[in-house]
């Protein structure tokens, strides 16, 4: 198993927001983490990255215990996190943003990034702050890729984007996954999740209330209705 999260608990002060969460991501797998607002999805990602460290439980990556490592050491293990606010440099150009993030000896060259994201190539001399929301998201993913991740962790990459851009990013994520990179995706857009994922976990009040493969999840209208509030019309 690439990533193994075992029975973790995490807190904000006294507030016990992650309660016994376990999940796995296999080599090259795309796993979705779903749940309503406030369910604990982002905090789970932050616990994996050591930003909100798990107080109990264990997280291993390729069998190595990373539970208590500081964030920079976890990133150094080829886990790349693209947070919701994207974190690109607004005053640097697209190309400067990519070059600054690039690791020596990375599997991914700038040309590889531009092949997946042709819009970034067109915009390579524009400042990060001049990009549209979708382009910023593409740049944030591109910046993660030049770090040669084995696992890419994305927090709601298509939130607030126009449907045509969402489709573009879904196709790009398929290509990235096709290159062998595993992806853990927090997403509220069910359509996106079912197009991409091998498996799904649903969180509610900081607990895993469902997990299943994509076929089982797609067939289970009751689960979607109960935990995600997606009314199924008939
Ligand atoms: N910095 C913080 N301090 C205190 N409580 C927080 C903090 N961040 C989140 N919480 C609380 O922790 C719980 C889980 O939040 P989290 O952001 O992980 O949920 P989420 O499933 O990612 O939801 P969303 O989609 O709204 O981001 C919520 O009750 C939230 O109010």
Confidence (pLDDT) at 233: 46
Structural domain span for residue 43: 1-78+152-163+181-234
Q: What distance in Å separates the CA atoms of residue 79 and residue 183, rounded to the nearest whole number?
A: 10
**135 lies in some domain:** no
Q: Whose CA is nearest to atom 16 of ligand 1?
A: 40
Is the C-beta atom of 15 inside 6 A of ligand 1?
yes
Q: Tell whether 217 is covered by a domain.
A: yes
* 77/177 Cα distance (integer angstroms): 18
Contact 172 CB / ligand 1 (< 6 Å): no
Q: Is 38 in the pocket of ligand 1 (CB under 6 A)?
A: yes
Six-digit token pair at 64?
């190595």
Ligand 1 atom closest to residue 52's alpha carbon, by position in its atom list? 1
pLDDT-derived band of residue 230, with 50, 70 and 90 as boundaries?
Answer: low
Q: What is the CA radius of gyration of the chain?
A: 17
pLDDT tens-digit map of 142-176: 999 998 899 999 999 999 999 999 999 999 999 99
State if residue 113 touches ligand 1 by the CB under 6 angstroms criterion. Answer: no
- Could you give the ipTM of this predicted complex? 0.95
pLDDT digits (tens, 9 = 90+) for 106-140: 888 999 999 999 999 999 999 999 999 999 999 99
The predicted pLDDT at position 234 comes to 41
Quick: pLDDT tens for 174-226: 999 999 999 999 998 999 999 999 999 999 999 999 999 999 999 998 888 88
What's the domain count of the chain?
Answer: 1
pLDDT of the residue at 231: 53
Q: Tell me, yes or no, whether 113 lies in a domain.
A: no
For the stretch 7-43, pLDDT in tens is 999 999 999 999 999 999 999 999 999 999 999 999 9
The pLDDT, as a whole number, for residue 225 is 86
- Domain at 2, CATH number: 3.40.50.300
- Residue 198 lies inside a defined structural domain of this protein: yes
Q: Would residue 72 count as lying in a domain?
A: yes
For the segment 55-103, what is each residue's pLDDT rounded down to a tens digit? 999 999 999 999 999 999 998 889 999 987 777 898 999 999 999 988 7
**b/e code 74-97 from CB counts within 10 Å (16+ = b):** bbeebbbbbbeebebbeeebbbeb
The answer as to whether 218 is a domain residue is yes
**116 in a structural domain:** no
Is the Cα torsion angle 49, 24, 171, 147 positive or negative in sign?
A: positive
């Amino acid at each position: 198993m690439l990533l193994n999260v075992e029975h973790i608990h995490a807190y904000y002060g006294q507030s016990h927001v992650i309660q016994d969460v376990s999940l796995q991501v296999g080599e090259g797998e795309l796993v979705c983490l779903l749940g309503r607002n406030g369910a604990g999805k982002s905090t789970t990602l932050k616990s994996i990255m050591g930003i909100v460290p798990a107080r109990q439980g264990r997280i291993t990556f390729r069998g190595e215990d990373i539970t208590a490592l500081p964030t920079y050491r976890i990133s150094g293990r080829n886990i790349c996190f693209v947070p919701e606010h994207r974190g690109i440099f607004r005053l640097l150009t697209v190309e400067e943003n990519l070059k600054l993030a690039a690791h020596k000896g990375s599997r991914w060259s700038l040309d590889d990034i531009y092949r997946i994201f042709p819009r970034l190539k067109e915009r390579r001399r524009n400042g990060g702050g001049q990009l549209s929301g979708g382009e910023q998201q593409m740049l944030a993913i591109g910046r993660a890729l030049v770090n040669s991740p084995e696992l890419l962790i994305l927090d709601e990459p298509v939130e607030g984007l126009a449907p045509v851009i969402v489709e573009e990013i879904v196709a790009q994520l398929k290509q990235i996954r096709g290159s062998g990179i595993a992806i853990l995706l927090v997403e509220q857009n069910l359509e996106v999740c079912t197009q991409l994922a091998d498996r799904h976990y649903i969180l509610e009040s900081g607990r895993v209330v469902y997990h299943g493969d994509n076929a089982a999840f797609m067939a289970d209208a009751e689960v979607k209705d109960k935990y995600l509030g997606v009314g199924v019309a008939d």
